[in-house]
């Protein structure tokens, strides 16, 4: 033990306080620096016929990479389960070809998608598969359009799909989950990231966006650009969001022109023809699955019907009409 006299003790206390203050200052600086400079860990995936990018912001690179591995599994699993053109065990292809034994995850997705049928007055109809295929045949050819007879023959009554603890398809119904699968799977990925404590992320699944908390430690928000449907090198709107899904439905990415008329890939189950009320519509809401369902529905509706419809939901929308007019839902301005 070192003997200290009164004067020295005072001096010692002074030094200790000083050291503590310095440690505190350095800690604050260090934490602040770390928060402002979280590492961006990014990965690309190629599933569901699209390019998917997930960015996670964290100081724990190992944890983030592990999560990104798991996300690969999620997209791969749902890709296989919802693929209509390749045989897959417990998946949609086999279901559409008479095998009722499907994975619970697929059953859940079908139930969710079909829950929109009544809510949308039959506009979101997953039993449209055969009609989609008829149009796909002509789109792949790049010319011609189906006769109305071809379309009505392919069209199956929605009631021919029976869902309980199984899905039973009568009269060769073919389910198509294209309206929902990307948004639904992205929602699962977002929930997974939050469940493992990685709350700061940007998921972009072929233009379907889901963002988490902002990656910088401030009250700021992400800036998400919405692409101009008539010019893919420019943006027509920027929205400021955190913890939101932004999903666009538009006919401008997958289409073909025949006799001067452009036919896109989103088929109205009422008319059996591609919808052409607008160039595109983008929905912002909390859930990516809901955003996907709503954007498809709005794309099939007239703008006026859509404005009334979206009012029933905790969601906002922006329309890009055929003549270039921009229409926004009532509360859209909170994101501007």
Partner 1 sequence: MNKKDILLCIILLVISLSLYLIFNLFQDKGNKKAIVYYDSKEVLSIDLSNKEYQEYTVKGYNGDVRIESLNGMVRVKEEVSPLHLCSRQGYISKSYESIICLPNKIVIEIEGSSNIDTIAR
Judged by CB under 8 A, which stretch of 113-121, 192-200, 230-238, 321-329 contacts partner 1? Answer: 230-238
213, 88 Cβ separation under 8 angstroms: no
Distance CA(84)–CA(81), nearest Å, equals: 9
For position 297 contacting partner 1 by CB under 8 A, the verdict is no
Token representation of residue 178: 């294209």
The Cβ of residue 58 has, within 10 Å, a number of other Cβ atoms equal to 21
Site for partner 1 in 18-37 (CB under 8 A): 18, 21-22, 25-26, 29, 32-33, 36-37
Residues in the chain: 336
Site for partner 1 in 52-71 (CB under 8 A): 53
296, 126 Cβ separation under 8 angstroms: no
Token representation of residue 289: 């699955």
Nearest to residue 277, comparing CAs of 327, 203, 204, 220?
A: 327
Question: Within 13 Å, how many C-alpha atoms sit on residue 59's CB side?
Answer: 10
Q: Which one of residues 175, 226, 278, 298 is an interface residue with partner 1 (CB under 8 A)?
A: 226
For position 207 contacting partner 1 by CB under 8 A, the verdict is yes
Q: Which one of residues 115, 148, 223, 271 is an interface residue with partner 1 (CB under 8 A)?
A: 223
CB-neighbour burial class of residue 250 (10 A; exposed 0-12, middle 13-18, buried 19+): buried
Q: Which one of residues 109, 134, 175, 246 is an interface residue with partner 1 (CB under 8 A)?
A: 246
Distance CA(6)–CA(213), nearest Å, equals: 54
Judged by CB under 8 A, which stretch of 85-93, 105-113, 186-194, 223-231 contacts partner 1? Answer: 223-231
For position 222 contacting partner 1 by CB under 8 A, the verdict is yes
Nearer to partner 1, 129 or 250 (CB): 250
Judged by CB under 8 A, which stretch of 85-93, 94-102, 103-111, 227-235 contacts partner 1? Answer: 227-235
Q: How many residues bind partner 1 (CB under 8 A)?
A: 44
For position 238 contacting partner 1 by CB under 8 A, the verdict is yes
CB 170, min distance to partner 1, A: 36
Distances in Å between the Cα of 209 and the Cα atoms of 86, 149, 206, 288 are 27, 38, 8, 8
Binding residues (CB under 8 A) for partner 1: these are 11, 14-15, 18, 21-22, 25-26, 29, 32-33, 36-37, 42-44, 46, 49-51, 53, 202, 204, 206-209, 211, 222-227, 232-233, 235, 238, 246-248, 250, 253, 282
């Amino acid at each position: 033990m070192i003997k200290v006299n009164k004067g020295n003790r005072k001096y010692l206390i002074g030094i200790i306080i000083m050291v503590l203050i310095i440690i505190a200052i350095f800690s604050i600086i260090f934490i602040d620096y770390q928060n402002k400079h979280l590492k961006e860990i990014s990965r690309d995936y190629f599933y569901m016929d699209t390019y998917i990018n997930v960015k996670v912001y964290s100081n724990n690179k190992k944890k983030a990479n592990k999560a990104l591995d798991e996300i690969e599994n999620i997209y791969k699993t749902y890709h296989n389960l919802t693929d209509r053109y390749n045989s897959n065990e417990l998946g949609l292809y086999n279901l559409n070809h008479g095998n009722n034994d499907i994975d619970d995850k697929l059953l859940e997705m079908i139930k969710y998608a079909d829950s929109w049928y009544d809510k949308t007055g039959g506009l979101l109809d997953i039993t449209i598969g055969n009609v989609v295929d008829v149009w796909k045949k002509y789109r792949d050819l790049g010319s011609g359009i189906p006769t109305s007879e071809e379309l009505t023959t392919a069209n199956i009554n929605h009631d021919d799909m029976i869902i309980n603890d199984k899905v039973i398809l009568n009269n060769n119904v073919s389910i198509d989950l294209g309206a929902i699968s990307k948004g639904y799977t992205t929602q699962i990925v977002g929930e997974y990231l939050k469940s493992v404590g990685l709350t700061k992320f940007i998921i972009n699944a072929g233009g379907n966006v889901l963002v988490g908390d902002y990656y910088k430690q401030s009250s700021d928000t992400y800036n998400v650009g919405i692409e101009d449907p008539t010019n893919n090198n420019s943006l027509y709107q920027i929205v400021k969001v955190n913890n939101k899904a932004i999903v666009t439905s538009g006919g401008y990415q997958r289409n073909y022109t025949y006799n001067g008329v452009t036919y896109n890939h989103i088929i109205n189950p009422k008319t059996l023809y591609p919808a052409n009320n607008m160039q595109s519509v983008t929905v912002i809401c909390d859930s990516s699955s809901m955003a996907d369902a709503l954007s498809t529905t709005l794309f099939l509706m007239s703008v006026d019907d859509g404005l009334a419809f979206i009012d029933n939901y905790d969601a906002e929308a922006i329309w890009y009409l055929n003549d270039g007019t921009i229409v926004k839902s009532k509360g859209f301005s909170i994101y501007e």
